[in-house]
Structure 1
Amino acid sequence: MNKKELANYRRMLDDKRKELATLMKKKEVDLSENEISEDDKVESSIEKNLIFSITSNEEKIIEEIDHALKRIEKGSYGNCALCDKKIADKRLRSLPWVRYCITCQKNSEVKK
């Protein structure tokens, strides 16, 4: 992968990381500012659990983005972490933080 492509992926990763961090902060503020009546406590509890689940997923993606940025620094970005083959450009463009090629990803999901 050339320097221009790496710079483009780094920008995509940085932008996505900022977007997710902003969303997480907004959700935290929304939860803390939310006054709840007695009638709405059950509904609010369900909503909080849903927000927590979504936030957990966003935190995982941020961790994956951080790993991808480290791989760019190490020079291993774009290669599968399991088989070391090149990850398809189409896959990287849609999910620039992925660690695995599609074959290894499918194999790891089957094992789970």
Structure 2
Amino acid sequence: MFTFGTRGDIDPFAALAERLSTSGHVAMLAAPEPYRGAVSFGVKFEPMATAMDRVMRAGMSELSGPAQALTLARQMSAAMRTSLDEQWEIAQRFRPTIVAAHPKALGGTSFR
């Protein structure tokens, strides 16, 4: 499962992964590193989109004009490319049968 955003975006995917795991399935949640603690019950965790999360949190709180917005857009663009690479690498390593992804994860729907 690939997810990105706030707790409201990540927690439902973590809950589903935990339910699948307790039902005997191998479940993996990929999300920004700060959300590693959102999973338990045998769910594998893979960090991805941590740079996007960092840019979003830092940039949104400091946004103060067009020049800074352009800088934030450039940083986010680079972080998005990194996230897509991370998602591809995770998918290649795990070879999932099913992929569930939040639209904010960007690449998750490409792996279906």
Structure 1 length normalisation: TM-score?
Answer: 0.36
Bigger Cα Rg? 1
- Structure 1 or 2: larger strand share? 2
Structure 2 length normalisation: TM-score?
Answer: 0.36
- Structure 1 or 2: larger helix share? 1
